[in-house]
Structure 1
Amino acid sequence: MKDVKSHIILIEQATKEWLQPDNADLKQAIERTVEEGLFSFEDIKFQIRSLKQKVDQGQISEWAKRAQLSEQVNAKGRKVLCLHAGNLPLVGFQDALGCVLSGANYYGKLSSKDPYLLASYLKILRAFEVENLKEYSTELSDFSDLNADKVLFAGSKESVDVVKERLVTLNAVTGSTDYIIRTAKFSMAYLENEDPQTLRDMIESVFRYGGKGCRSVAVIVSPYTLSKVKCHFTDYVEEFWLKNPQHQKPTPKLAYQFAYNKAINRDQAWLDDFLIQATDEFPSDDFTLHWVQGDVSTLKALKAKFGEAVQTVYSSGNPIEGTSTEWLSTAQSPNLWWQPDGIEVISSIIKK
């Protein structure tokens, strides 16, 4: 591999090239993804636009700087198997980028739910002769006898043991393989303002990608009642949700929940297969938002109650004392170096 500084510059150049509007491979990947109904064009466009903005801001070199990458601090020669999730378009991009930046030998198991978009990025890295890009495939069996030094995995807590057993069976890992596992399910937000931009940020944080991402807000705590902001959710549904059929999923379980809420006189809003309800219960179902009227102490209590299931806490106003928070406006467009489950990707790969 080239010296670390040249390596970082090469990856930055390749990534910028990948994000160019005339990239035929990326265009084809987008078209196939939409044609097969994997993700909506709007969601893909949003993700790519966000990534391009971060890359154009110089965040690749900044991330490398923050991780203190150097000739002395890197993961050269280490074999890292990235098991990429597929719940969002390009959700595996950060792991892939962090791995190749670190200097580790990248092996990527692509999700069958998102097989084209990330592959188009890896293809251009190979074209730029990024030497530590080793192998990628949608078949886990292609990594038999890899004996990986580290495994990066993002998914449900329930699937962790199954994945580990499969890796052992394939000899893809050894007894000393280090697992870097992220399993958070959803995020929370504290909404203290109701100005138009804040409300727009709130809507985006809830509905983008159908609310499926771990950064997607599933619980909102606010001094305001649900009734006061219902109309803003309805406006969004009319403007965006109904125009994107990929977002509409049959959810009979939610219909039963809606009927139950109605029977107990719980405040709620049914938004074309998305249920918003006034409850502080754990949000275990997809396509739901739980609205809790309360203050900062209510938010902290719920975060403690939900534990490791919470990815991020967002604030629409001032940072919340005693709680790590991010701005609500960044919910679906984080910096490249954001830390899923509090884990710094590059540093975790470098760490012995």
Structure 2
Amino acid sequence: MNVTNKITLLERLGAYLNGQGTEEEREQLRLAKQKAFHQNGWFIPEFVDLSIQQIADNFLRRPLLEAWVAQYPGFGELASPKNVGIVAAGNIPLVGFHDWLTGFLSGHRIKLKLSSKDDVLLPHLIGKIAEWSPQAGEITEIRDVLKDCDAYIATGSNNSARYFEYYFSKYPHIIRRNRTSVAVLTGSETLADLEALASDALLYFGLGCRNVTKVYVPEGYDFEALMTAFKKFDWLMDNHKYKNNYDYNLALLMLNSAKFQTNDNLLLHENESVFSPLSVLHYSVYRNRAELEEQLAGNPDLQCIVAADRIPFGQAQAPRLSDYADGVDTPAFFAAL
């Protein structure tokens, strides 16, 4: 199949995700979302719907896809397709969609290993593509074990990444490890900015690598407005999994006599680490913005930096097609094969 035909299918998939299919198709999507939630309690309907909407709006529109592919002349026009293995993560709904999308358009054959935490939604979407076009359906094969591939893309924890490096070292590969995101505040942010930042931190319960887990604030910063803004996510405490994490981390901080603040849905704790436990937001005080920027630029653990002059507040969890994980250009990787 040529790229134009594939984009037509992806555009149809976007319409399907936006509920523009038949009544039967809308019911199929509803049941798939329901099954995903029943299988993984973190995939609540609100966050599954959000992920699906972001994909439909930011990935699956024809003008966006055509402009993106046009950046790579000859993309998808291959004389000898390779077998590319993709090991998908499962921390937030459909987190592996972009890798699959890129592979699907590239012209290579995709061997996909799903996370047990997210093995409902992506197979459902791939199945719809196959239903509309059996030829397109043959591009992707879902496997329990990946072997005999010519290249690999694998996403996982730091621990699993060591195994990926060992097993895939002799093949072209992209190996992704734990990453997280931070925000830099100046003290001049509006309440709307801080409420948008709350979304950057707490959408998907904070489980994504693009979620803000730490904020940097200037000396003398008043946290009252920040903690008030984050109360827009009070409803997370209705989820027992999130509340259990909050109660556990609250107990740890109290037992360790650590200083912290809380607004009853989030724990704010001063800590040097950019990684924070679920339901906890770390912070550090900076004195010189230029020095801080230099420090952040050299940190390999960072996926995104949210600030008034960087990724806008509220946009961390709304990546575009060219916002590549770990800054690695995946279409260029596929093209180079």
Q: What is the TM-score normalised by the length of structure 2?
A: 0.85
CA-to-partner distance for each residue in 1:213-265, whole Å, 9 max, x for gaps?
100001111333334422222x2243x3124445333466623542266x35x
Q: Among residues 303, 323, 337, which one is paired with 1:338 in the alignment?
A: 323
Query: Are 1:229 and 2:211 an aligned pair?
Result: no
Query: Are 1:95 and 2:87 an aligned pair?
Result: no
Question: Cα distance 1:65–1:329, how it changes in 2: closer, same or farther (>3 A)?
Answer: farther
Question: Cα distance 1:18–1:188, how it changes in 2: closer, same or farther (>3 A)?
Answer: same
Structure 2 matches for 1:132-281, cutoff 5 A?
133-137=139-143, 139-140=144-145, 143=146, 146-163=147-164, 168=167, 176-192=170-186, 193-223=188-218, 224-233=221-230, 235-238=231-234, 240-250=235-245, 254-259=249-254, 263=257, 266-269=259-262, 271-272=264-265, 274-281=266-273
Show the counterpart of 2:333.
Answer: 348
* SS at structure 2 position matched to 1:336: coil
Q: Among residues 60, 68, 71, which one is paired with 2:73 in the alignment?
A: 68
Show the counterpart of 1:322.
Answer: none
Consecutive unaligned residues in structure 2, runs of 5 or more: none
* Residues 211, 217 of structure 1: 8 Å contact kept: yes
Show the counterpart of 2:314.
Answer: 329
Show the counterpart of 1:300.
Answer: 293
Per-residue deviation at 1:201?
1.1
Separation (CA, whole Å) in 2 of partners of 1:79 and 1:299? 43
Consecutive unaligned residues in structure 1, runs of 5 or more: 319-324
Separation (CA, whole Å) in 2 of partners of 1:75 and 1:253? 56
Query: Are 1:288 and 2:291 an aligned pair?
Result: no
Per-residue deviation at 1:18?
4.5
Question: Cα distance 1:197–1:251, how it changes in 2: closer, same or farther (>3 A)?
Answer: closer
* Residues 253, 260 of structure 2: 8 Å contact kept: no
* SS at structure 2 position matched to 1:327: coil
* SS at structure 1 position matched to 2:162: helix
* Residues 75, 104 of structure 1: 8 Å contact kept: no
Show the counterpart of 1:7.
Answer: 6
CA-to-partner distance for each residue in 1:19-57, whole Å, 9 max, x for gaps?
435433321110112233241111111111222222247
* SS at structure 1 position matched to 2:140: strand
Question: Cα distance 1:66–1:330, how it changes in 2: closer, same or farther (>3 A)?
Answer: farther
Show the counterpart of 1:321.
Answer: none
Separation (CA, whole Å) in 1 of partners of 2:62 and 2:313? 20
Question: Cα distance 1:33–1:6, how it changes in 2: closer, same or farther (>3 A)?
Answer: closer
* SS at structure 2 position matched to 1:148: coil
CA-to-partner distance for each residue in 1:282-327, whole Å, 9 max, x for gaps?
425333211223352353254256x211111122x23xxxxxx322
* Residues 126, 133 of structure 1: 8 Å contact kept: no
CA-to-partner distance for each residue in 1:178-199, whole Å, 9 max, x for gaps?
1211224200112234213211
* SS at structure 1 position matched to 2:90: coil
* Residues 86, 154 of structure 2: 8 Å contact kept: yes
Separation (CA, whole Å) in 2 of partners of 1:38 and 1:189? 24
The code of the aligned residue for 2:160 comes to S
Q: Size of the alignment, in residue pairs?
A: 325
Q: CA RMSD in A?
A: 2.7
More displaced 10-residue stretch of structure 1: 186-195 or 210-219: 186-195
Per-residue deviation at 1:117?
0.8
Question: Cα distance 1:75–1:34, how it changes in 2: closer, same or farther (>3 A)?
Answer: farther
The code of the aligned residue for 1:29 comes to A
Separation (CA, whole Å) in 1 of partners of 2:18 and 2:86? 22
Question: Cα distance 1:271–1:75, how it changes in 2: closer, same or farther (>3 A)?
Answer: farther
The code of the aligned residue for 2:210 comes to R
Separation (CA, whole Å) in 1 of partners of 2:120 and 2:151? 24
More displaced 10-residue stretch of structure 1: 196-205 or 177-186: 177-186
* SS at structure 1 position matched to 2:65: helix
